[in-house]
Structure formats: C-alpha cells, structure tokens
C-alpha cells in the first residue's frame, strides 16, 4: 500500500476536567473528520500518569475505532505504524509502505512529543476520533524541524494557532482542501504566511480565473499538517 498525503479539514472541540486550578488537567479532544478516512492530527497532550510525551496506546482512544484501523507516523524520513487488533490493542507493524521495520517499539513505549503529528487511517469515517491525555497549555513547547525536511506537525493547544514569525521564506504547510481531496498549500513569502486563492470572474468575453495571494495561516485545535522546510531549520512555538 502506498500512503498519500491526506491532510483533513476538521472541527475539534476540547472536553477538559480538573478538580481545582492547581491539579493537573486531564481530558480529551474530539476530532470530527467529515472528508476522509485518513486524518492527520496534532498531538495535544502529555502522557497520563507522568510528565513525559504521550505514548500511542494512551494517546489514541480506541473508542469508535475498528479492528484494522492504523496509526501512521513519519519520523526521521521513516514510516512506522500501529494497527488496532480485534482485541482492541495497538500492534506495531513490521512492514509499512514497503519498508521493513526491525524491532519496532510497542505502542506502550512509542512516544510522541506535543506538536508532532500522526495519521489515523480508518475503514469508515462516520465516528469522531478521541485523543486523550494530560493538558499543558500553560507551558510553552516547541516543535523543531530540520532544514530540508518534511514532517508531520500539529497544533497541541485547545485554542487556534496563527502562524506568524515561525519558519523561513519558502517553507510550506500542506492541508487537505475540504470536499474534493485536493490540497491547500500555505507558503511563507516576504516573512508572511499565506496562500493563493483562485476566484472565477465572468465577463462579456468569457470566464476568467484570477489567482490572488492571501495572507494568513491558522491551525485549529488538534489540527495536523505536513510541514516542508527549506534550506533553514524551523521552530514552531506553542503556548504562551
């Protein structure tokens, strides 16, 4: 099976629970994907029970998922994956995208840092996906992206993230265009993130398409995407 870049438009809502303002906040984010069976999500949580990065088994709730659904990761130019078994357990794959994985980490061990991203591939997409864990919006974190690399990244906050000074000119962020499966490409030009918007105008001479550069790039809570860095390394800061 060949994986395709499929970044999904989504609506994410946070359900958070805490006993008081000094206690750790635990909860979940529900992500409703109305477009595709392949959903890219941003990792929003620390691990349940400690201050470390979230493990796959703790992060991705198996509620609403089915046996055969798969979590895919892309790290250090390498794919890895975890398939949900009939017993409701995430099992590490030994072959992903035609590549053999030697001694893959188990889902109880494999961790993802806040701000990283993952694909969830499902047989059906009628049910929402739940990401679970420990919230830490108050502590800033950063996602480091090496020069000339392509990585999954995602908004780990419960509020929208507007891209501003992050990255370098020529860097790109790729989302899926809701509805028809095409992609929206945001690029940083002249120190501003933006995209080309195509509009159609009808005149007496016929139909004309106009392409206009439109500034702005915002990630919804829990939203993931591809980040393609240029010749310079990038760093995305999350939180205050």
Q: Which two tokens stand for residue 156?
A: 């780990």
Least confident residue range of 40-44, 97-101, 214-218, 231-235:
40-44
Q: How far apart are CA 109 and CA 99, in angstroms?
A: 21
CA dihedral 81, 84, 86, 91 (to 10 degrees): 50
Domain ranges within the chain, ordered by starting residue: 10-136, 161-238
| Model pTM score | 0.73
Distance from the Cα of residue 150 to its chain's centroid: 13
Residues in the chain: 240
pLDDT in tens, 140-183: 778 889 999 988 888 887 788 899 889 999 999 988 654 455 67
- By three-state DSSP, how is residue 127 classified? coil
- The Cα-based distances of 135 to 30, 79, 195 in angstroms read 14, 27, 31
pLDDT in tens, 69-98: 899 988 877 888 999 999 999 999 999 878
- 231 vs 8 pLDDT, higher one: 231
H or E, element range at 135: strand 129-135
> What is the DSSP code (8-state) at residue 56?
H
Q: How far apart are CA 53 and CA 64, in angstroms?
A: 24
Residues of the chain with pLDDT > 90, as a percent, come to 25
pLDDT band of residue 222 (cuts 50, 70, 90) is confident
């Amino acid at each position: 099976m060949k994986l395709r870049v499929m970044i999904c438009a989504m609506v994410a809502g946070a359900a958070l629970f805490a006993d008081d303002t000094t206690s750790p906040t635990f909860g979940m984010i529900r992500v409703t994907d109305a477009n595709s069976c392949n959903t890219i999500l941003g990792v929003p949580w620390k691990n349940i029970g400690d201050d470390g990065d979230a493990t796959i088994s703790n992060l991705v709730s198996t509620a609403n998922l089915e046996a055969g659904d798969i979590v895919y990761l892309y790290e250090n130019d390498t794919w890895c994956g975890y398939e949900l078994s009939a017993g409701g357990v995430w099992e590490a794959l030994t072959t992903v995208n035609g590549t053999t994985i030697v001694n893959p980490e188990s889902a109880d061990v494999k961790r993802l840092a806040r701000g990283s991203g993952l694909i969830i591939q499902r047989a059906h997409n009628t049910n929402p996906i739940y990401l679970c864990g420990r919230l830490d919006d108050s502590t800033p974190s950063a996602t480091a992206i090496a020069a000339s690399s392509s990585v999954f990244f995602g908004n780990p906050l419960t509020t929208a993230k507007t891209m501003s000074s992050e990255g370098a000119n020529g860097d790109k962020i790729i989302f899926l265009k809701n509805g028809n499966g095409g992609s929206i490409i945001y690029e940083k030009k002249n120190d501003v993130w933006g995209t080309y918007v195509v509009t159609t105008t009808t005149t007496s001479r016929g139909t004309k398409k106009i392409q206009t550069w439109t500034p702005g790039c915002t990630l919804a809570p829990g939203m993931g995407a591809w980040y393609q860095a240029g010749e310079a390394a990038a760093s995305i800061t999350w939180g205050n």
